[in-house]
Amino acid sequence: MAKQARKTKRKRRGVWIGVLVATVVAIAGITALLSSDDKKPVTVADLVITDVEVGTGDAAVVGDTLAVHYVGTLLDGGTEFDSNQDPDEPYSFVLGAGNVIQGWDQGLVGVQAGGTRQLDIPASLGYGETGSGDIIKPGDSLRFVIEVVSITPAPVPVPAPTPCPEADGSSARETAFEEAPPMCIDETKTYTATIVTNLGELTVTLDAAKAPLTVNNFVVLSRYHFYDGLNCHRIPLDFVAQCGDPAGNGNGGPGYEFADELPADGEYKIGSIVMANSGPDTNGSQFFIVTGNRGITLPPNYSLFGEVTEGIETTLNAIALTADETNTSEAPTTPVIIESITITES
């Protein structure tokens, strides 16, 4: 079940898979070298970095989110194996978070928005002795030409202890936290979430009696407007709609994790709202809503904290219909965006 309802850590376009950046020392060394001569190739541990065009603004650092266009080819022979030139949907990732190959995580430190950087990446910083797909063979070195569309600085986390947000929704938006929130809800009250999406509204009744930690987390993040503007990045056919990742690719979260509150076997149903995770007690901000029969049969390894009570036949059905009918991709065929979440209590 690890490949289904969890924080998605899968390849992008059949090629991308990340490993953690090698060392902070190596990153610092790359930054220092690049500052000496922007367009002169720099070699660091067999990684060759060339700024084809220098951008403007602050240099990218670990934790920033980069949006890029790119072309990837084999260094030997020049065969193209992947690219993204879509002006409306550049590829986005968090630098240094292990979302991409090491050659990217190391080689894009110091790049500036609007710049174009060429990376000649040895196999040890690419796909090693395993290769990837039909084109990248074991031991292949790679060349990427990467145009940096934008750089979004890493958010400054709310310092611990996290204050409870205002119940009327007037708190400023926050997207990162140093630690999980304290108990801000009254477990004797009933909490309802109105989730407004670009495809309509969902009314969700939250179960604070059964899952107080999880409901509290969802209420706090919603009242901090954490979810506003985030997409539902994963909608497999006849399964679930997974949302709540600030990175937009399944690897993001609020900066903390908290414990499970697991249901009994057989409790999931169409409209159940459930936490996504990457293993026991790794809950954060990502959640999913069960949209199909495959979701109903999930094992009880994911915290169940409420259910859709209005909008199943309309909005939830519209969301489910964005799934790829060929079942070859888990990404929705059209964007599904959370515009806002409003919490009421009674």
Out of 144, 177, 258, 288, which one is annotated catalytic? 144
Query: Is 144 one of the catalytic residues?
Result: yes
Read out DSSP for 115-128? -EEEEEE-GGGTTT
Please indicate, yes or no, whether residues 135 and 238 belong to a single structural domain of this protein: no
226 & 284 share domain: yes
- Catalytic residue (choose from 27, 49, 64, 70): 70
Domain identity same for 206 and 71: no
Q: Rounded to an integer, what distance in angstroms lies between the CA atom of residue 342 and that of residue 344?
A: 7
Which region holds residue 4: left if phi is over 0, alpha if psi is between -120 and 50, else beta?
Answer: alpha
Give the separation between CA 61 and CA 312, rounded to whole angstroms: 43
Select from 297, 288, 296, 340 the least CA-distant residue to 319.
288
Q: Is residue 14 in some structural domain?
A: no
Q: Is residue 70 situated within a structural domain? A: yes
* 104, 244: one domain: no
Structural domains of the chain, count: 2
Asked if 82 is an active-site residue, the reply is: yes
Single-letter code of the amino acid located at 14: G
Domain presence at residue 166: no
The sign one gets for the Cα dihedral 338, 204, 186, 182 is negative
Which residue in the list 27, 101, 319, 341 is annotated as catalytic? 101
Same domain, residue pair 134 and 208: no
> Do residues 165 and 220 make contact, with C-beta atoms less than 8 angstroms apart?
yes
One of 64, 82, 105, 260 is an active-site residue; which one? 82
CB-based burial label for 84 (10 Å; 0-12, 13-18, 19+): middle
**Shared-domain flag, residues 263 and 318:** yes
* Domain annotation covers residue 9: no
Non-local CB neighbours of 182 within 8 Å, separated by 6+ positions? 161, 162, 164
pLDDT tens digit at each of 346 positions of the chain: 333 343 443 333 333 333 333 333 333 343 333 444 556 777 666 899 999 999 999 999 988 999 999 999 999 999 999 999 998 889 988 898 788 999 999 999 999 999 999 999 999 999 999 999 999 999 999 999 999 999 999 889 999 999 999 999 999 999 999 999 999 999 999 999 999 999 999 999 999 999 999 999 999 999 999 999 999 999 999 999 999 998 887 888 999 999 999 999 999 999 999 999 999 999 999 999 999 999 999 999 999 999 999 999 999 999 999 999 998 889 999 999 999 999 999 9
CA distance 18 to 141: 16
Question: Which one from 27, 81, 185, 207 is the annotated catalytic residue?
Answer: 81
- Domain identity same for 198 and 335: yes
Q: What pLDDT, in 10s, does the model give residues 257-313? A: 999 999 999 999 999 999 999 999 999 999 999 999 999 999 999 999 999 999 999
In the residue annotation, 287 being an active-site residue is answered as: no
Domain limits for position 142: 24-152
The residue from 91, 93, 127, 226 that is catalytic is 127
Q: Output the pLDDT for position 45.
A: 65
Look at residues 152, 171, 203 and tell me which one is the last residue of a structural domain. 152
> Could you tell me the CATH number of the domain that includes residue 135?
3.10.50.40
Gap between the Cα atoms of 191 and 345, Å rounded: 5
The whole-angstrom separation of Cα 63 and Cα 206 is: 33
Can you tell me the distance from the alpha carbon of 214 to that of 220, in angstroms, rounded to the nearest whole number?
Answer: 10
Q: Has residue 272 been placed in a domain? A: yes
CATH number at residue 288: 2.40.100.10
Q: Determine whether 101 is an active site residue.
A: yes
pLDDT digit string, tens, across residues 41-86:
776 668 999 999 999 999 999 889 999 999 999 999 999 999 999 9
